Amino acid sequence: MEVDDVKKTAAVMLTFVLLLGLVPTFSGLVSAMYGTKIIDGSLSDWTSADLIAAGKDNGQAGANLDRLYVSWDDQYLYIAIKTNNTGSWDVAYGIGIDIDPGTGNGYVSGGDSWGRSVEFSNGFAPDYEIYFWWGWDSGMGTDNFNTYTGSGWNYNSISGVGGSFAYTGDTSTGLQTVEIKIPWSALGGKPEKVAVMAWVTGSGGSAVDSLPVDPAIDYTDIGNEWGDTDTFTSMAVLYVAPKTIDGNLSDWSDADLVAVGRDNGQDGANLDKMYVSWDDQYLYIAIKTNNTGSWNVAYGIGIDVDPGTGNGYTSGGDSWGRNVEFANGFAVDYELYFWWGWDSGMGTDNFNTYTGSGWNYNSISGVGGSFAYTGDTSTGLQTLEIAIPWSALGGKRSRFAVMSWITGSSGSAVDSLPVDPAIDYTDIGNEWGDTDTFTSMLVGEWFLMADLTVGMSGPGVVGLNRNAVYNVTVRNEGSLPAQNASVAVYVNDTLAANWTISLGAGESRWFTFTWKPNATGLYTIRAVVDRENAIPEASESNNEFTMNVQVVWVGNIDVDGNPDDWVSPDITPNSYTVQDGYFIWRDAENDQKTDKDPYLPGGSSSHADLTEVGVTKDDRYVYFLFKFKDMSNIKIGDNGATFIAVPIDYKKGGGETFAGRMDTRTVIAWDIQMAINLGGKQYVGQTKATAPAGDSLTSLLYFIDPSGKVVKVDGAMVGIDLEENAIEVRVPVSVFEGAKEFSFQVATGFSYGEGVWNFGNDFADDGISDIVDTISTESTVKELADNVPDYYVRIRMDNIIEGGSVVSVKLQRLMAFQNAFVMHNRYYGVRHFEKDYGRYTELDGQLKNMPLTDDMTKRLNELENEVMDLLRLYNEGKELIDSPNYAFGASLKIYRAYTGLKKVVSEMEAMLEKAQSGELEREKYMQELAKNLTKTIDGNLDDWSVQPVAVDETGYGQDGANLKALYVDYDDQFLYIAITTENKASWRIAYGIALDYKDGGYTTGQDSWARKVSFSRGVDAQLYFFWNGEFFGDKGTGNITSAQFMLWNDGSWKYEELKWVGFYAYTGGAENGLQTLEIAIPWKALGVKPGEINVVAYVTGQGAGDSAVDSLPLQDAVKDTDPGQEWGDADTFTQFATVTIE
């Protein structure tokens, strides 16, 4: 047969693997592909290899998810969502991230970080949630990165943890795309795998769509999905760890599967599957066979690093002289070969490089790679794993092609992956000796390009003939290095500075240039990188940055944030002076509110701790200075950055509240208010800035009128220098309309978009002041005890500041309060006392006719005496309330009387409910039962005379989970059990005791508290105690918060609160955890007084699915893994302490 007769020329080109039909099953594992992404809202740099979930159309125009993409590199986890939205609705987009899927550690139920009815099961428990709010008429709003603490959530923004996001969409069609990058450091480091899921909810309720699609959402009844509870079981689990080259393919998944073979009937030469994956360092290839015999064969793999060009080997005999050729634009640049001997197994390995006219030969290890395999001389090669460094392939390749085949000791191929038309599977016997021309190599693609961006920071307003310094930052956001890139800066199109740089992937550099303008006016400064477009980039639209700079006349003060041009008098804290035309107030340090410190940048509120306020004037402007203790913890644009509200009253006035929605009223009626918002949208990420007054609530400086409308103030500007801990503002004299006096107040807060952080309800205005610091002679907490800052500054001015004072309105407000208090009690207090006194009389009669405990009867008598005292107070107050000289004292008596009576009535209603509910009878029963105890159940074991039935003599255990001794005793009516510990810390854990005293019982699965605890003998009862100690920063309460008694009954557990069955007491607290535990259980509760009882005590983790970490008797079940891993394994107890009951 002639060679030409057997050449196959069919042309088939396959894209890499993740076409929609091959998106993996999401209940299993998928592998997110390695690659850096540009966060700009465009998904052009996401490939099919990054797609992990395709959505299902739910018919909701404004809440319809389409695609979920995931990628990663060494620094970041990247997530992208595409929607099918055609409308803009009020919705929340949520993303859950589980860093240890399968363990169940994390949030599972009870309302997620945004209070949505979204829950998780099937081993999934997110440790982090990302949320975005989309407003139907406002578009993208709040973003959150929330961390589960074990009992609640810590809230932050995406930028607050070092991440970023970008999106596309508008208020017509809603969100279209969103891209996010989260640093691995924010996720506690890069794990082996993560689970990811995205969903859409409304302003409350549950999800109406998810990616991956989950059975929790009923797409046939989507209208009712807004308000139910959804328990997700189908998060996408993603491998992000490098492949382990060991011959075991368990860390390869369906997402890596690129080709499935065809059975050729050859026992020792039968390919089954080929896998391909990659990361920053290596290209990974794996092969699985269907071999059942061991033959003399060669396994070949071809790699084309520039498919479509035809550059490389095509014909004439490959690197091992086999009749394997290539066409259809494919030409291999590298071949890998392995020889398998029928009686010797794996032999030679080669990594061969095509030179253009021949081959250079090396081994795989010789180029820095590695391989591993499974198989033997009975069944032949079974699996083969290979790692080839990108450096051996000439560097990273954004597009490449791969193919594998089997040949004999010569000749051509008898099988290939992908299956290729060159091989005639209907005549496989003749395939050993023909020539095969492959046309169906598998093409892989990933995003891999340089991408240069440029930014610039510096003052937006510059003084005439003053030096201005600007920083230019150039960054390579792409995945390939950029060599000899040009950087240039232009001022009004005139070249001002230029440089040439080379940047590696992810690298950045910055430069400075100084500009001294010689004329006032508006200038445009433009920074450009790669202006010649000489470097291929992922995006050519981000190579330029432009900013406008206003050059202005400069007066007494350079408004740049540097306070060196202000006087610095030596005055004591909480006092003021007027000196040389300057008013200076020196505020005490550390007098601010600190409630929010744990959630702020740097864990500190020092950037809002006001230390100085200054005012001065020249012929054009009034200048303000605000100094703070330490602003090094923030940058401009941070969530929680400094916010300053300054209401100014210079004429009749009309404004009543502080800017920023501070939930606080001013004590002056103001005419104009200036606000400095360092958490706005200008100069984000910088530490220095100057800017004119803006027209937005997110401008660095803006002014509002009493109606809350932003007003334009030409000539006003702000200067910020966080390194100097100072902010300067100038206001044109014309704003004051010729006034010679004005008053102002100062309030600081933590910026949050257009407003400030709330100190009460986190998500609503609530009347609790959000001021962090203000001018006052007291601490801010004391000053705002009544929610009103009483101090304001009064300024007198002419050509200069001539005088000033600090005024308090506390006395006037106190008088007004007293008058309001008298009026309140004259009408409201009198009416409510008389109404509640009638209710008291009714309750007193009912309770006296009911059987009560001795304690309740005693308390009822005490309450009757209290009411007599309250009635006397009420009558005295009512008699004098209309006498002007005695009205306030009388109103106090009425207030004490009616509020005290309300408490009495509330207590009596609780007593009545208790008597009617049956709880009283249970208490009486337990009181009678307690009389039969022969031990005092108080946690003190001094009255125990028996020896322990189990003791840990080895010191095994952990600081907060360390059992020492187990005691068991009994009498005719009770079983007594006690444990002691050697705890040195208070941890959040559960103490369990299992009892076996009859045939049958629970043995395996999850026990009564869903712990992974099993027993070699059936247990008939369990006791559990929950110790609420420290858990991941949450200190807990340091005591037992739950105690239960459970009986195994016909295959299930019957639950009782221990306080209604038996008795217990303990010692210990928040410092050292549980120390002793003493318990008494009636034999009646156990159903029998047995002849023998078997007992084991143990400590487990705080949640369902946890297992034991210590036990008495001490046994291998709690010592079979590393102590840190014991919390999550499964334990079977085989040793019990046996006690004979006589």
SS (H, E, C) 549-561: EEEECCCCCCCCC
How many other CB atoms sit within 10 Å of the CB of residue 491? 17
pLDDT in tens, 51-104: 889 999 999 999 999 999 999 988 899 999 999 999 999 999 999 999 999 999
Q: Give residue 1123's identity as a one-letter amino acid code.
A: P
- Any residues with CB less than 8 A from the CB of 545 and at least 6 apart, and which? 454, 455, 456, 526, 527
Opening angle at CA 574, ends 570 and 575, nearest 5 = 55
8 A C-beta contact, residue 495 and residue 482: no
CA 692 → CA 8, 53, 712, 717, 730, distances in Å?
A: 73, 47, 10, 4, 10
Tell me, what's the pLDDT at 1?
A: 27
Instruction: Examine the pLDDT at 887 and tell me if it is beyond 90.
Output: no
Instruction: Examine the pLDDT at 7 and tell me if it is beyond 70.
Output: no
Tell me, what's the pLDDT at 677?
A: 97
H or E, element range at 925: helix 919-930
In CATH, which of 3.40.50, 3.30.160, 2.60.40, 2.40.128 is domain 249-445? 2.60.40
Q: Phi/psi of residue 517, each to 5°?
A: -75, 145
- Any residues with CB less than 8 A from the CB of 834 and at least 6 apart, and which? none
Tell me, what's the pLDDT at 171?
A: 96
* Architecture, CATH, for domain 563-787: Sandwich (2.60)
Instruction: Examine the pLDDT at 14 and tell me if it is beyond 60.
Output: no
Tell me, what's the pLDDT at 500?
A: 96
pLDDT (average), residues 572-592:
95
Instruction: Examine the pLDDT at 897 and tell me if it is beyond 70.
Output: yes
pLDDT (average), residues 1094-1100:
98
Ramachandran category for residue 111: left, alpha or beta (phi over 0 → left; psi -120 to 50 → alpha):
left
Instruction: Examine the pLDDT at 816 and tell me if it is beyond 80.
Output: no
8 A C-beta contact, residue 877 and residue 894: yes
The Cα–Cα gap between 852 and 919 comes to 11
Q: Give residue 638's identity as a one-letter amino acid code.
A: D
The pairing of beta strand 230-232 with beta strand 118-120: parallel
pLDDT (average), residues 603-628:
95
Among candidate residues 784, 749, 780, the one with its CA nearest the CA of residue 592: 780
Among candidate residues 8, 50, 17, the one with its CA nearest the CA of residue 32: 50
The Cα–Cα gap between 451 and 481 comes to 9
Instruction: Examine the pLDDT at 345 and tell me if it is beyond 70.
Output: yes
pLDDT in tens, 959-1018: 999 999 999 999 999 999 999 999 999 999 999 999 999 999 999 988 999 999 999 999
What's the half-sphere exposure (Cβ side, CA atoms, 13 Å) at 622? 27
Quick one: pLDDT band at residue 8, thresholds 50, 70, 90? very low
CA 83 → CA 22, 199, 205, 211, 590, distances in Å?
A: 20, 11, 20, 11, 48
Q: 56-60, 277-281, 418-422, 466-470: which has the minimum mean pLDDT?
A: 277-281
- Per DSSP, 735 falls in state G
Among candidate residues 688, 686, 734, the one with its CA nearest the CA of residue 713: 734
Instruction: Examine the pLDDT at 762 and tell me if it is beyond 60.
Output: yes
Instruction: Examine the pLDDT at 555 and tell me if it is beyond 80.
Output: no
Ramachandran category for residue 920: left, alpha or beta (phi over 0 → left; psi -120 to 50 → alpha):
alpha
The Cα–Cα gap between 508 and 644 comes to 34
* Architecture, CATH, for domain 33-239: Sandwich (2.60)
Instruction: Examine the pLDDT at 467 and tell me if it is beyond 60.
Output: yes
The Cα–Cα gap between 11 and 438 comes to 9
8 A C-beta contact, residue 830 and residue 879: no
Among candidate residues 420, 383, 388, 387, the one with its CA nearest the CA of residue 287: 383
Instruction: Examine the pLDDT at 863 and tell me if it is beyond 50.
Output: yes
What ranges do the domains of the chain cover? 33-239, 249-445, 452-552, 563-787, 813-929, 933-1140
8 A C-beta contact, residue 140 and residue 132: yes
Tell me, what's the pLDDT at 763?
A: 67
Instruction: Examine the pLDDT at 4 and tell me if it is beyond 60.
Output: no
Query: With respect to CATH, is domain 452-552 assigned 2.60.40.10?
Result: yes
pLDDT (average), residues 114-141:
97
pTM: 0.45
pLDDT (average), residues 764-770:
83
Instruction: Examine the pLDDT at 23 and tell me if it is beyond 80.
Output: no
pLDDT in tens, 987-1004: 999 999 999 999 999 999
Q: Identify the bridge partners of residue 674 per DSSP, sorted by sequence position.
A: 646, 703
Quick one: pLDDT band at residue 1120, thresholds 50, 70, 90? confident
pLDDT in tens, 1028-1082: 999 887 889 999 999 999 999 988 999 999 999 999 999 999 999 999 999 999 9
pLDDT (average), residues 692-708:
96
- Angle between helical axes of 887-917 and 830-848 (0-180°, round to 10): 30
| CATH no. for 933-1140 | 2.60.40
pLDDT (average), residues 221-225:
93
The Cα–Cα gap between 320 and 71 comes to 38
In the predicted model, what is the mean pLDDT of the chain?
91
Mark out the alpha helices in 881-918 (DSSP H runs). 887-917
